[in-house]
Amino acid sequence: MIFMSQLRNCPECGRVFSYLHRNLCPRCLENEEDMFKDVRTFIKENPGATIVETSEATNVPEDTILRFLRDGRIVSQGLQSSIVLNCNRCGDVIKAGTHCQTCRDELNREIRNVSGAAAKTAPQKPAARSGDRMRILEDRKKNGR
């Protein structure tokens, strides 16, 4: 597959590499793993450390620490209180990851709806169908309890 072995330039060192799932060449990825371990070890010993303190102690750039936080790879009270993460969808303040719990639930529901709609090839009689579904739900309620 062409998509599987897309060639890219590493944004860190400029080396050409075949893109898999991370936009970094294997060497920089390994380097990033080392930095990740340093940060993780440091915040375990210093749970209240801010990003600046962590960056100074580990020699890991603040941007990289921020990325670890955004990816949800590290969780630390001190780091989180020194930055503000926002939900990509609604902008709410979140503790980790890219979306707040509400939006994550909604996104999951949307994905389910889309795949459900795609499965229905003939959506001509939505009224009758929802009527059927209501009846099924009512039957299930009666039988279930």
Site string for Zn ion, 17-36 (x = CB under 5 A): --------x--x--------
How near is the Cβ of 50 to Zn ion at its closest, in Å? 25
Find the binder of Zn ion among 20, 52, 83, 90 (CB under 5 A). Answer: 90
Rounded to the nearest whole angstrom, what is the least distance from the CB of residue 18 to Zn ion in the complex?
12
* Gyration radius from the chain CA atoms: 23
Q: Does 10 bind Zn ion (CB under 5 A)?
A: yes
What size, in residues, is the chain?
A: 145
Q: Between the CA atoms of 66, 68, 72 and 73, what dihedral angle is there, to the nearest 10 degrees?
A: -150
Q: Which two tokens stand for residue 116?
A: 């459900």
Among 39, 60, 65, 103, binds Zn ion (CB under 5 A): 103
Q: Is 51 exposed, middle or buried (0-12, 13-18, 19+ CB in 10 A)?
A: buried
What residues pair up with 16 in beta bridges, in sequence order?
Answer: 9
Residue 43 binds Zn ion, judged by CB under 5 A: no
* Contacts to Zn ion by CB under 5 A: 10, 12-13, 15, 25, 28, 87, 89-90, 92, 100, 103
